[in-house]
Amino acid sequence: MNILPFERRYFPSSCPVCAGTALEAEITFRKVEFQCASCGAFEITSAARAAMKGLSQESRGVWLAQARQHGSAIPLVACANETLSHGAAF
């Protein structure tokens, strides 16, 4: 069962890209959406979020910039070995 965007519950959190204040909503068991004033809206997998913890802020920003190049409305930040479709629940 997919949850529609207007049914999501957002909670205060810190952005995994810029470490600023953001809102976080769980989409699926392994995917989270963030709404950040600096970075904008994006989705991130739990694997990518864990991998970003060891990177510099500049490198995390590069990951987000690469995700934005795919042309979807809300970019999905994922690891290279994750092949996901945007709406897929896994």
Q: Does residue 29 lie in a domain region?
A: yes
Contact 15, 21 (CB under 8 A): yes
Residue 89 has pLDDT above 50, yes or no: no
Choose among 81, 85, 58, 89: nearest CA to 70: 85
Q: Does residue 86 lie in a domain region?
A: no
Owning domain of residue 47: 10-77
Choose among 52, 50, 53: nearest CA to 66: 52
Q: Does residue 5 lie in a domain region?
A: no
pLDDT band at 90 (very low <50, low <70, confident <90, very high): very low
pLDDT band at 81 (very low <50, low <70, confident <90, very high): confident
Q: Does residue 1 lie in a domain region?
A: no
Residue 4 has pLDDT above 70, yes or no: no
Q: What's the predicted TM-score (pTM) here?
A: 0.80
Q: How many domains are there within the chain?
A: 1
Q: Does residue 90 lie in a domain region?
A: no
Q: What do you get for the CA distance between the two ends of the chain, in Å?
A: 11
Q: Does residue 2 lie in a domain region?
A: no
